[in-house]
Amino acid sequence: MANFDIEISEVGPRDGLQSIKAIMPTEAKKAWIKAEFEAGVPEIEVGSFVSPKLLPQLADTAEIVAYARTLPGLQIAALVPNLRGLEAAVKAGVHKVGIPFSQSETHSIKNVKKTHPEMLAEIQRCVEFLQTVPAEQRPRFEVGLSTAFGCTIEGNVDEDVVVSNAEKVLEIGADEVGLSDTTGFANPVQLKRITQRIWDSCGKDKLMGVHLHNTRGQGLANVLAAVEMGITTVDASLGGIGGCPWAPGASGNIVTEDLVWMLEAMGLKTGIDIDKLLAVRELVKEALPDEPMYGFIPDAGVPKGFVPASAV
């Protein structure tokens, strides 16, 4: 039985590190992952299987996965852009694999050089490959519906396209879809509307996770809307690492520390020890001394008398 009501997936070692110029030493990454695991974080996206020429920050992902597998009970996630990346992820022993599918076709072409039909064909190849993998080695395969709420290139994204593409990838054989606010456009009403439409069309069990950004200050408001609806997995990054290239000075990712405090204060168990989590922040700051880190709880502290739900 899981010891949490809401599963927090830490994405800093992937989404955070790929968005900054600094390259964190491999041993520092291992220390970060171990410390978060010991703080009670149930799932960590430890890297991405992409060309090291494109993302030298994540060139050691296979080694990081091998280390993460020594931490008993940790759910290891990784991102892949295509079939080649998926094959590498399976070989490394990842438990959960995500592939980004930009709902803005312009963004898809810029990001992975594929139109929507080409991306659907790539997802089909990924599913066919996974069907050849023994069940005990087969990772859960999630298609992340990126730019689902808006795009810095196209602007508004047609919600009908998002729902239709969710239907298509699930028909192909993906295990689930996730909603990603890649550019920080989402608002709570929009999030509820799109989530409900996908649930109505595809089933509630096919969309249980969200990846939300705080670029325009709506991150925790959107999380609140999501969990009130019944979403059970939320991505976040320690210290909001990664920022957002489209909004200088703004935190891109939701800050894990603030998210844990909010949920625990609401009476929702995350299974995470917030004091231990705040100690991890210091470890990461030492490894990335020149990178800004965000968050209110690290500065203000937890309120006097605070009793986390996970401690009850």
Q: Quick check: helix, strand or coil at residue 17?
A: helix
Q: Quick check: helix, strand or coil at residue 236?
A: strand
d(CA 124, CA 274): 41
In the set 126, 151, 202, 244, the catalytic residue is 244
d(CA 82, CA 94): 15
d(CA 239, CA 38): 18
d(CA 240, CA 187): 19
Do residues 107 and 88 make contact, with C-beta atoms less than 8 angstroms apart?
A: no
151 catalytic residue (yes or no): no
Kindly give the pairing relationship between strand 75-79 and strand 96-102. parallel
Measured on CA atoms in the order 147, 150, 156, 162, is the torsion positive or negative?
Answer: positive
Q: How many residues does the chain have?
A: 312
Q: How many other CB atoms are found less than 10 A from the CB of residue 302?
A: 17
Question: What are the start-end ranges of the E strands in 25-108?
Answer: 43-48, 75-79, 96-102
Q: Within 13 A of 233's CA, how many CA atoms are on the CB side?
A: 24
Do residues 274 and 235 make contact, with C-beta atoms less than 8 angstroms apart?
A: no
Structure tokens at 192: 């509820």
Do residues 36 and 29 make contact, with C-beta atoms less than 8 angstroms apart?
A: no
Do residues 20 and 243 make contact, with C-beta atoms less than 8 angstroms apart?
A: yes
User: Which of 166, 177, 28 has its CA nearest to residue 99?
Assistant: 177
**Residues with a known catalytic role:** 244
